[in-house]
Amino acid sequence: MFNLIEFLKNIFFPKKAASELVDNLKNSSELTNDQTHMLGNLLKLGNIQIRDIMVPRADIVSINIDSDFETTLKLFIEAAHSRLPVYKDQLDNIVGMLHVKDLLPYWQKNTKFSIEKVTRNVLFSSPAMLVNDLLEQMRATRTHLAIIVDEQGGTDGIVTIEDLVEEIVGEIEDEHDSKEKPLITTLDNGGLLVDARTNIIDLERALGIDFSNIELDEDTETVGGLISNISGKIPEVNDNIPEPKLGINFKILEADHRKIHKVLVSRGES
């Protein structure tokens, strides 16, 4: 039987060899659909640059090296992250990373707190670096956070090892990811705010529209898949995707290079 774990260990095989392996196995009963999907993602790693998956500068949550214990703890709670980049004076001068467990020795104790004393090393990477190369560096150095710097040395973004693993296995939800938010929210103007993971049937019910008169791939089940099917690609944020046959328009609110996350559905083709 095909051992996916062993294949993952050899993730850095030459692309041609990996392609031949997938070609030989993808139509066999030895691979599940999930394994085939992961293998396909593995092959793409050599073509995806870090700039395509990094958390952009504007979305970075970071901590000043001079922050006191209370400020630091509050920021960890609000951010719901286990690791935060540490900067000195400005975000373009990141000096390391702080892990939330590094706060434990100072919890309800009189020990003087100093971020500088517990700051951990981070990797620095170019936005043009390939995902598989950075993943190998992070694995080899056991580093879970990389700072992406531009040509002038400024901070362009950050990447966690979770971001890289998600390129292979898909999105990973943890205990902080809300599962209570409704997938479809009706807005005051009659539009629908829709999570792209929503089943097409649920959107049909919300709109009161039958989607059977449009051609879809057999495996299309979600709103995100529906939109990608209509547009023939994964749209970008702010793209408008009209569907004249249904008399509705999809506006992309959140997306990355892999998939759509959130859309605004409205009647009409605007």
The amino acid occupying position 218 is: E
Question: How far, in Å, are 64, 215, 222, 226 from residue 219 at the CA level?
Answer: 48, 12, 9, 10
Q: How confident is the model at residue 23 (pLDDT cuts 50, 70, 90)?
A: low
Q: How far, in Å, CA of 168 to CA of 5, rounded?
A: 12
Region 174-194: mean pLDDT is: 75
β-strand partners of 250: 241, 265
pLDDT digits (tens, 9 = 90+) for 52-92: 888 888 889 999 999 999 999 999 998 888 899 999 999 99
H or E stretch at 253: strand 248-255
* Least confidently predicted of 44-48, 103-107, 134-138, 239-243: 44-48
pLDDT of residue 182: 77
| Contact indicator for 170, 163 with CB cutoff of 8 Å | no
CB of 95 closer than 8 Å to CB of 86:
yes
Let me know: does 266 contact 190? Beta carbons within 8 Å: yes
| Mean pLDDT over each residue of the chain, to the nearest integer | 81
Mean pLDDT across the stretch 242-268?
87
81-113 pLDDT, tens digit each:
889 999 999 999 999 999 999 998 888 777 789
What is the pLDDT at residue 12?
A: 45
pLDDT given for residue 76 in this prediction: 92
In angstroms, how far apart are the furthest CA atoms of the chain? 69
Does the structure show a pLDDT above 80 at 41?
no
pLDDT at 177 over 80: no
pLDDT confidence of residue 269: 59
Which domains does the chain carry? 11-47 (no CATH), 51-169 (3.10.580.10), 184-267 (3.30.465.10)
**pLDDT tens readout for residues 109-158:** 777 899 999 999 999 999 989 888 888 898 899 999 999 998 888 999 99
